[in-house]
Amino acid sequence: MTATPPTTLPPETITTVAPPPRQPGPTATSTAPDTPPPAPVPPPDVSQRTFTYRVTGTKGLLDLVSIVYTDAQGAPQTDFNVSLPWSRTVVMNPGTEIRSVVATSLTGHLNCSITDSVGQPISMSTSSAMIATCAR
């Protein structure tokens, strides 16, 4: 013998609880001395962290020129089969000190340089070789 389920459910009970009445809070009677807001921190001078990598030279018809340079975070980045002249401007993150560019060619003659934001050379290679390296 199987029991049959009831056809109606028992009535639900709903209870509503009202929040307690708000008590007025204490009022502040003392006044704090007026203090000026802190001076804004000036942004770091981006021009001191801006550098331009340049690679110049010759590239033959079937030549492959690849360039490895340091990006803003200090990590190496590679550009493959680039056209010459090549340049890349990078704003280094604060604390990143390594700056380098290495260019390689199968048959060309390459030169490289790293300059600061006003164009002053930081590192330069004018060897006109198949590999050019500039680092600081």
- Quick check: helix, strand or coil at residue 46? helix
pLDDT tens figures, 52-90:
999 999 999 999 999 999 999 999 999 999 999 999 999
pLDDT for the residue numbered 64:
95
Residue-range domains of the chain with CATH: 46-135 (2.60.40)
Position 102, amino acid: V
Q: CA dist 81 to 65, 99, 105, Å?
A: 5, 21, 9
Q: What share of the chain is helix, strand, coil (3-state, %, to 5)?
A: 5, 35, 60
pLDDT for the residue numbered 17:
77
pLDDT tens figures, 13-53:
777 777 788 777 666 555 556 777 776 655 556 667 899 99
Nearest to 112 by CA among 136, 81, 80, 77: 136
Q: Do 57 and 126 contact (CB within 8 A), yes or no?
A: no
Q: How many residues does the chain have?
A: 136
pLDDT for the residue numbered 98:
86
Nearest to 74 by CA among 103, 99, 54, 44: 99
Q: How many degrees, rounded to 5, is the angle at CA 88 between CA 80 and CA 108?
A: 45
Q: What is the C-alpha to C-alpha distance for residues 96 and 120, in angstroms, rounded to an integer?
A: 19
